[in-house]
Copies of this chain bind each other. A is one copy, B any other.
Amino acid sequence: MTESLKLTVDEERGDLVVIYTEGYINNQGGEEIANVAYELIEKGHTTLLLNLAQTKIVNSIGISILIEIIERMLLIDGKLAFCCLTPTIEKTFNIMGLAQYAGMYSDEETAIEALT
């Protein structure tokens, strides 16, 4: 019930790394995701998938930090994609114009197929 974000990272997907979020993506949550993402980039990973199945709420400050990760990804010719968004989170991403810079997939399987 506390809303601090929990992250689980699955690096056993070949080139792709899946990051599972659980909880609220606010500024703190966004920064936690960014830290994990930048570590993965350091390690040489260039394709990241954020699975938001267990995230029911985000805010625009958290999303702005995700946009920073996308920027960094574009610089290294990498990709950040999303899957399993609630309809409202997907709508919000679209309102913010994220769709042109990051793939959004309904489920993890579809995302992995498209990304690998």
A binding-site residues for B, Cβ under 8 Å: 1-2, 54, 56-57
Contacts and interface: CB of A to CB of B under 8 A. Distances in A.
Task: Determine how many copies of this chain the complex contains.
Answer: 2
A80 to B, nearest CB: 23
Grouping DSSP codes into helix (H, G, I), strand (E, B) and loop, the A interface class, with mixed when no group exceeds half, is loop
Contacts of A56: 1-2
B54 A54 contact: yes
Contacts of A1: 56-57
A56 to B, nearest CB: 4
A56 B54 CA distance: 12
A32 B28 CA distance: 35
4 contacts: A1-B56, A1-B57, A2-B56, A54-B54
A54 B6 CA distance: 13
Contacts of A2: 56
A88 to B, nearest CB: 8
A23 to B, nearest CB: 10
The 3 closest A-B pairs by CB, nearest first: A1-B56, A1-B57, A54-B54
A2 to B, nearest CB: 8
